[in-house]
Amino acid sequence: MKKDFLCLTDWSRDELEQIFGLTRELKAKQKRGEEHHLLKGKTLGMLFEKSSTRTRVSFEVGMFQLGGHALFLSSGNTQMGRGEPIKDTARCMARYVDGVMIRTFSQSVVEEFAACSSVPVVNGLTDLYHPCQVMADLFTVSEHRANWRELNYCWIGDGNNMANSWINAAAVFGFELRVATPDTYRPDGTVMERARKMGARISYTNSPREAARGAHVLNTDVWASMGQEAEQKEREIAFQGYQINTELLKTAAADCLVMHCLPAHRNEEITDEVIEGPHSIVFDEAENRLHVQKAILATLMQ
């Protein structure tokens, strides 16, 4: 039966930890230079309505390393970008490729595409969720801390797709999560309510210092995401005090880890000193997009 990777809460903890296990295996093989052509002869169609660096490169390289092929399609160069119904594009692409990854604005686009597609669909990012990124983030923490499920995590900044994805992760894996945002930039209320019904241990505050106090993992993202550029100045004012900097780290655990999904606006939501400092695992998590996504693709497309 076809399965998609659209939202973390569609998957059980055991299923996601199996993906982590496969990630470790594939990463070790890649580091040893061993072939791991689990998707030999298969093709991944990649639909992009949003620009990308890490998503495109990691999926495309990942398919190559798995023995398959990735096909890049920009929305402006497809019929879907000219108004073709999503269901028509989905049905046709499913007859050409073995899986589809979509990076777009609306979660409803990914969900409708998946509902009409006979091949697996992966959410490469929407305005609501970024499940591949949070999987890479958690896998990275697990490489640095064996007790990663027992750590205290905090999210500081905008209640965006990454904040929503961390909330979903807390619901599935059961770790403690503290979220600090300005009142007018809270995470999605429906996402938060569902997570709490699942038993998630999530606390919300307006105070970054309160969220960071004793935290083992601190995470943030840009204050204005793609499509919000016109709000940049307004958001800079609203998010004053929500920067991850050396002073904030003094309130966290002494051996805390700092994450950012990138791209970063250095010295805005996070200082250059912190992102280049000893607590940062930012570039480890960027690398692990490749390894985690290979495991997701292999799980869905073998």
DSSP string, 174-222: --EEEEE--GGGPPPHHHHHHHHHTT-EEEEES-HHHHHTT-SEEEE--
pLDDT of residue 192: 97
Encoded amino acid at 175, one letter: F
Looking at the annotation, which residues are catalytic?
103, 130, 133, 221, 261, 289
Q: What pLDDT tens digit does each residue of the chain (302 aa) get?
A: 899 999 999 999 999 999 999 999 999 999 999 999 999 999 999 999 998 999 999 999 999 999 999 999 997 788 887 789 999 999 999 999 999 999 999 999 999 999 999 999 999 999 999 999 999 999 999 999 999 999 999 999 999 999 999 999 999 999 999 999 999 999 999 999 999 999 999 999 999 999 999 999 999 999 987 677 788 889 999 999 999 999 999 999 999 999 999 999 999 999 999 999 999 999 999 999 999 999 999 999 99
Signed CA dihedral, 201, 177, 111, 85: sign only: positive
- The Cα–Cα gap between 107 and 6 comes to 8
- The Cα–Cα gap between 125 and 13 comes to 21
- The Cα–Cα gap between 146 and 148 comes to 6
CATH code given to domain 131-285: 3.40.50.1370
Closest CA to 123 of 153, 101, 95: 101
The upper half-sphere exposure of residue 230, i.e. CA atoms within 13 Å in the direction of its Cβ, equals: 1
Report the binding-site residues: 52-55, 79, 103, 130-133, 161, 221, 225-226, 261-262, 289
For 203-230, give one letter per residue: b (16+ CB within 10 A) or e: ebeeebeebbbebbbbbbbbbbbeeeee
- pTM of the complete model: 0.97
Exposed, middle or buried by CB within 10 Å (0-12, 13-18, 19+), for 264? middle
pLDDT of residue 83: 86
pLDDT of residue 77: 81
Report the binding-site residues for L-ornithine: 161, 221, 225-226
SS3 258: strand
The helix (H) or strand (E) run that includes residue 74 is strand 69-74
CATH code given to domain 8-130+288-301: 3.40.50.1370
Tell me if 68 sits within 8 A of 44, measured CB to CB.
Answer: yes
- Print the SS3 string covering 19-57: HHHHHHHHHHHHHHCCCCCCCCCCEEEEEECCCCCHHHH
Report the binding-site residues for carbamoyl phosphate: 52-55, 79, 103, 130-133, 261-262, 289
- Print the SS3 string covering 96-149: CCCEEEEECCCHHHHHHHHHHCCCCEEEEECCCCCHHHHHHHHHHHHHHCCCHH
Structure tokens at 46: 């990649």
Same fold, 8-130+288-301 and 131-285: yes
pLDDT of residue 82: 79
Encoded amino acid at 93, one letter: M
Encoded amino acid at 17, one letter: E
Domain coordinates in residue numbering, the chain: 8-130+288-301, 131-285
pLDDT of residue 81: 76
